Amino acid sequence: MEASSNPQFSKLPPISAKLFEAKKAKKLSFEQIGKHIGRSEVWVAALFYGQAKPTETDIHKLSVVLDCPESYLNHDVGSDYFPDRGGLMSVPPTDPTLYRFYEILQVYGYPLKAIIHEKFGDGIMSAIDFTMDVAKIENPAGDRVKITMDGKFLPFKKW
């Protein structure tokens, strides 16, 4: 199935289907693309899903690794492009992988919030000044998924 006819892409910007098609044609993973352009695989995936804004340098490097004309990418994700973050899925999500994250927050959300408050005070973890890594941990009992989120603590302001 071509990316442009896949319902998964219905809420994404037009460039997303083009990026996915180029990724498939080049047989590259998000990790490989990230290494070529100097970004993390999570950021690259976010860009493909319309959730990140590339710099001019990112666009240049993407055009090289994906074998796409730079002008073509600049047209869709250039200086006038701003991501429309969020809103890609229904809540709760229906995809089983995405639903697990929702379920984790349903079960562990308040415990995580309480621990953050105990350790840092009244505030939140930034999703803007933020990085995330996904690792595969091989285990004879079944491989494990390790997700590391690293966000700046932002205290709530009192006025």
Catalytic residue numbers read: 100, 103, 126
Q: In sequence order, what are the residues at sequence separation of 6 or more whose Cβ sits closer than 8 angstroms to the Cβ of residue 18?
A: 3, 4, 68, 72, 76
Q: How far is residue 12's CA from residue 139's CA, in Å, rounded to a whole number? A: 36
For residue 95, the 8-state DSSP code is S
User: Left if phi > 0, otherwise alpha if psi is -120 to 50, otherwise beta: which for 120?
Assistant: alpha
Other Cβ atoms closer than 10 A to 128 = 8
Q: How far is residue 117's CA from residue 124's CA, in Å, rounded to a whole number? A: 8
